[in-house]
Structure 1
């Protein structure tokens, strides 16, 4: 099982997650890698097939949404899907040391952080550090057709994915070598569906 994970390409890992989301939508869950053997096998190390950077929102559980199991997804969470040195460092660890072939940034509908900034809520303390990135996405999507804050959440996911893809030297080099794929996706809380935001992947 461990060696099979290493052989996955970024596209293959992405397809595995999307297939898992289809199972999640249909209710035909497999709950892979949840047995005692899988758990004990992870004690000596991990080889996740994907990094998923998503919001800290409790309604967005990547392992469940993609019907994956223990050790399958290296989850990085932060309110608003913003990128900073700590987040990037976690991603770099996964792709360089764990050889994870896929990095997915997953925005979601009804994001509380995006909604708060859109409504002009004055964020205090360290929460305020989220504002600049979210505000930029809101400004870019204002006036576009559709739901404003959901559009902004999508824009934020795309922008964050691009920043990760271009981050030097580690991720950018691995992307150029074809060893890592970076994509942006969007999770709809109501339907449970994860849709692609990145174009031309398949």
Structure 2
């Protein structure tokens, strides 16, 4: 089992390879796939966005069985996502959870559009995602950022990542216990669609 710092370093090194176009992922043989069918041993949990341009395994240059990936529009935290993180953290002894947001996030834009045009709300199902992103955007709409949609979106992505990190750190007795024992850390990060780089945030 990797320590949290070792796991983060492995993710950072993989992203650097991805950025430089020197990925190391190899295709598995039939035997290797068959052996993996028996069990898995991921070293990190990634809660990322469903955006088709942000596949965590590729972004971090990891192979089959390396990452436990949970993807949902807006990398929001709902009970099913919390349960998935709890499952992986307890079952596979993963020592790090990365909440991975990204630039030009559609869920962030949908939330901004909904708040700016409340008379034309999205579907009830999409609204369930918007409502989870909403607090991260509403607070920014009370600042001068409301007049610059580009800056508003950029800051909202990070604000939403911080909110999801906070929910995972303080919204689950299971995760709180693992964190208190030093067995788990939850960190935020942002993927740049333009450069391919992942920036990890300090809290």
TM-score, with normalisation over the residues of structure 2?
Answer: 0.89
> 1-side partners of 2:93 and 2:172: how far apart?
17
Is the contact between residue 101 and residue 161 of structure 2 (CA under 8 Å) also seen in structure 1? Answer: yes
Partner residue, 1:165: 169
In the alignment, structure 1 residue 22 sits paired with structure 2 residue 21: no
For 2:34 and 2:10, the matched residues in 1 are separated by: 23
Structure 1 Cα separation of the partners of residues 19 and 85 of structure 2: 28
Q: Does 1:12 align with 2:16?
A: no
Secondary structure at 1:119 match in 2: helix
The answer on whether the counterparts of 1:13 and 1:50 sit within 8 Å (CA) in structure 2 is: yes
Q: Distance in 1 between matches of 2:165 and 2:32?
A: 31
Matches within 5 A, 1:107-186: 107-120=101-114, 122-142=121-141, 143-144=144-145, 147-186=151-190
Identify the structure with the greater helix proportion: 2
Return the alpha-carbon distance in structure 2 between the equivalents of residues 176 and 154 of structure 1. 25
Gapped regions of structure 2 (runs ≥ 5) = 115-119
Is it true that 1:69 corresponds to 2:63 in the alignment?
A: yes
Q: Is the 8 A contact 1:185 1:198 kept in 2?
A: no
Corresponding residue for residue 117 of structure 2: none
**Whole-angstrom CA distance in 1 between matches of 2:170 and 2:110:** 29
Shift of 1:133: 2.2
> Structure 1 length as normaliser, TM-score?
0.90
**Correspondent of 1:198 among 157, 179, 202:** 202
RMSD across aligned positions (CA): 1.6
* Matched residues, number: 192
Unaligned runs of 5+ in 1: 1-5
SS in structure 2 of the partner of residue 104 of structure 1: strand
Q: Would you say the 8 A contact 1:141–1:148 is kept in 2?
A: yes
Q: Is the 8 A contact 1:48 1:73 kept in 2?
A: yes
Partner of 1:3: none
